[in-house]
Amino acid sequence: MAINTAEPAAELLERRWFAATAAAKKVKAECDALLEVLEISRDAWRRACVQLADLETLRDTLGGQLAATYEPSTVPAATAMPYEKMSAA
């Protein structure tokens, strides 16, 4: 049975083929758009992870400095000035 005949079955087959081709093109375009969005999202995720690592490093550094300000003085008692020698002036 040839496609270019006027038989209803052949016409139906041809219409279904064109419909399937159009649907495949539409889904292909959607897949391409989603892939682009995925790549953009992946890049943004990577940048956010780098920023997170930088902020965590900064936080840890500042936390260490903050903890050091609350630690008791490390000056040995022998080098500390006795109370009697401190001047009120």
pLDDT digits (tens, 9 = 90+) for 56-74: 999 999 999 999 999 886 6
User: Where along the chain do its domains lie?
Assistant: 28-61
- Least confident range of 22-26, 28-32, 63-67, 75-79: 75-79
With the CA atoms of 60, 61, 62 and 67 taken in that order, what torsion angle do they form, in degrees rounded to the nearest 10? 80
71 Ramachandran zone, left/alpha/beta (phi>0; psi -120 to 50): beta
What pTM was estimated for this model as a whole?
0.55
